[in-house]
Amino acid sequence: MESTVRIKRKEILWEHMGLMGDPEYCRRALKKEEMYIKNGYRTGIDIIYTRESSGYTISTKVIDQIIKEFFL
């Protein structure tokens, strides 16, 4: 799932990769991340990635921290 947020005329993409435990999904997600890098997106500046799998769910505390750091 990809979200685009505009703050002070700057666009930041937030790419959430929620099924990283699925090998095919993971392969496609990593290829997509590589595509972003090749197109000049800088991790933590132009794009933020969050990842989850069946064995790991990102906490709301981490989501809140990302929102505060990048969007407020």
What 3-state DSSP class applies to 14?
strand
Indicate if the pLDDT at residue 8 is higher than 80.
Answer: no
**Alpha-carbon distances of 58 from 8, 11, 44, 49, 72, rounded to whole Å:** 27, 23, 17, 11, 20
Residue 18 has pLDDT above 70, yes or no: yes
pLDDT for residue 7 is more than 70: no
pLDDT score of 63: 94
